[in-house]
Amino acid sequence: MPPIPVDHQTALVSRLMKACGGAYSAETRRKYFISGPQWAAAYQGQALFHAPTRPPIGFEDIIHKFAEIGIGHWTTHDTDVIPTEALGTPEQWEIVDRIKRALNDHGLKCSMVTTETFFHAVWAASPAAEAPGVREYAKFRVCNTVEIGHELGAGFTVYWPGSLGYYVQGAIDETDSLRWYADALNAACQRDIEVAKRKGRPALKHCLEAKPFEPQAEILLPTSDAMLAFIASGLLTHPEMVGLNPEYLHELMWGAAPRAALARALLAKKLFHFDINDGYRLKHDVDIGVGLVNPLDWLNVLVLLRSHHYEGPFNLDYKPPRTTSHFGVFEVSFPTSVDRFITLWEMAGEVSADPIIKQATDALRAGGPVRSTDDAEDLTRANRELLTLHELIAHRLFQILIGQHRGRVFFT
Ligand code: 3MF
Ligand code: MG
Ligand code: MG
């Protein structure tokens, strides 16, 4: 193939996207509770060793693009849209008005707001630093986010504590830091109760998001399970208002089975919100688009969520790769992430309805005939052949993933 002229390249990408087929209409996409983060669309590809590869883009353009794609909800950090120095000032409210207008003009809703407590230098020693002034500032920031959330009509607020941890050992007392972090959450819940009452709105759902490492070396609340223990620790004045925003990749990063982590959150009735993406076990937080690395695991995750009636929000917390252009972010990256999610969600419905999986599962639950539940040998014999069904079910899931259950064949 001869070199592709630069001014022909976007047309080539669009033509191949069309040739892929299988895209859902914007109307179909809007039926799912999927949200697009401001920060994901605005991510310029920068990192410690990476210069940006894409130009900046503001919320007006992103909201417009999300509307065209059919992403019905928008989420943001306070400082994704408001400069740090403008927080809490009249300028903040002017920006919030502009956001409201953009959302209204394009028929989007703001579903979630979150406080950035990791990027600015003020958080170097975490939002629960020893210095009381920093902690007061953290309270101001989370309370201000609650106010913005109510103004934008959000139902959720998320907390990723980010720098709540340390690089060097022994310099902080972890129990103090955790108490101080709880103080900020308590202030946010208290403010929420007041604002909700004043505005006649329901209170927000406050969702904790764990990540096992990054940006600090050691993290005080590294997993969703640690967050559950923190919620139940007695430090929170309103534990009933606080739940989880697990992120798929954050659980993989520490080597967990994300589905098992979600199951524990479901049992605790704390699965409030879910960041969806993909990546690799025990590696960096690469935030790859949902389903590109672990589609079979993703299918299984969605089977679990569907069978427990979790229907969203599904927040597209991924990062378009540096190799994707500014054009590609909205032509390929977002629409294909949404479409893979929808496809996997619908496939999860097929799994639940599949007669082979159903019969196998029912048989496993019926078990074999036993003479005595005190007799290990007898129990083993009674179930010996049935247990092969575990592997048969896994094979059937693979078939559903690749369409063989609908007759897709490779050799005839
Ligand atoms: C970091 C994250 C964050 C959180 C966000 C909370 C930048 O790894 O996942 O995204 O999701 O701060 O909403
Ligand atoms: Mg991540
Ligand atoms: Mg996240």
- Predicted TM-score (pTM) of the model is 0.97
Q: Closest ligand 1 atom to the C-alpha of 275?
A: 11
Mean pLDDT over 203-223 rounds to 97
Q: What is the mean pLDDT of residues 154-160?
A: 99
Mean pLDDT across 186-210: 98
209 CA to centre of ligand 3 in angstroms: 7
User: Which residue among 145, 157, 209 has the greatest number of ligand 1 atoms within 8 angstroms of its CB, and so is best to mutate?
Assistant: 209
Span 208-224, average pLDDT: 97
273: Cβ–Cβ under 8 A, 6 or more apart, which residues?
Answer: 112, 156, 158, 205, 207, 243, 244, 245, 313, 315
Q: Kindly state the average pLDDT of the residues 64-89.
A: 98
Does the N-terminal peptide bond of residue 313 adopt cis geometry, omega within 30 degrees of 0? yes
Distance CA 294, CA 29 (A): 22
Percent of the chain at pLDDT exceeding 70: 100
- What are the pLDDT digits (tens) for 330-382? 999 999 999 999 999 999 999 999 999 999 999 999 999 999 999 999 999 99
Q: Is the pLDDT of residue 401 over 90?
A: yes
CA 394 to chain centre: 26
- Is the pLDDT at 5 greater than 80, yes or no? yes
Question: Taking 90 as the threshold, does the pLDDT of residue 395 lie above it?
Answer: yes
The ligand 1 atom at the shortest distance from the C-alpha of residue 250 is 8
Atom of ligand 1 nearest to the CA of 112: 13
CB atoms within 10 A of CB 198: 9
Q: Residue 412 pLDDT more than 80?
A: no
Active-site positions?
77, 80
> Which residue matches tokens 């969520």?
305
3-state secondary structure the chain: CCCCCHHHHHHHHHHHHHHHCCCCCHHHHCCCCEEEEHHHHHCCCCECCECCCCCCCCHHHHHHHHHHHCCCEEEEEHHHHCCHHHCCCHHHHHHHHHHHHHHHHHCCEEEEEECCCCCCHHHCCCCCCCCHHHHHHHHHHHHHHHHHHHHHCCCEEEECCCCCEECCCCCCCHHHHHHHHHHHHHHHHHHHHHHHHHHCCCCCEEEECCCCCCCCCEECCCCHHHHHHHHCCCCCCCHHHEEECCEHHHHHHCCCCHHHHHHHHHHCCCECCEECCECCCCCCCCCECCCCCCHHHHHHHHHHHHHCCCCCCEECCCCCCCCCCHHHHHHHHHHHHHHHHHHHHHHHHHHHHCHHHHHHHHHHHHCCCCCCCCCHHHHHHHHCCHHHHHHHHHHHHHHHHHCHHHCCCCCC
| Whole-number pLDDT of residue 411 | 85
Q: Does residue 320 have a cis peptide bond before it, meaning omega lies within 30 degrees of 0?
A: no
Confidence of residue 80 (pLDDT cuts 50, 70, 90): very high
Mean pLDDT of the 168-193 span: 98
Q: For 370-392, b where at least 16 C-beta lie within 10 A, e where not — what string?
A: eeeeeeeeebeeeeeeeeebeee
Residue type, 69: I
pLDDT of residue 190: 99
pLDDT of residue 12: 97
* pLDDT, position 252: 98
pLDDT, tens digit, 9 for 90 and up, residues 83-122:
999 999 999 999 999 999 999 999 999 999 999 999 999 9
pLDDT at 47: 94
Q: Please, are residues 357 and 396 in contact by the beta-carbon 8 Å criterion?
A: yes
Best residue among 247, 273, 278 to mutate for probing ligand 1, ranked by most atoms within 8 Å of CB: 247
Ligand 1-lining residues (CB < 6 angstroms): 39, 77, 114, 158, 160, 209, 211, 247, 275, 285, 317
pLDDT at residue 381, as a whole number = 96
Q: What is the mean pLDDT of the segment spanning 238-267? A: 98
Dihedrals φ, ψ of 109, to 5°? -120, 145
292-330 pLDDT, tens digit per residue, is: 999 999 999 999 999 999 999 999 999 999 999 999 999
Work out the mean pLDDT of the chain and round it to a whole number.
98
Output the CA 316–ligand 2 centroid distance in Å. 10
pLDDT of residue 81 exceeding 80, the answer is yes
Closest-CA residue, ligand 1 atom 5, reads 160
> At residue 282, does pLDDT exceed 80?
yes
| Token pair in block for residue 71 | 């992403």
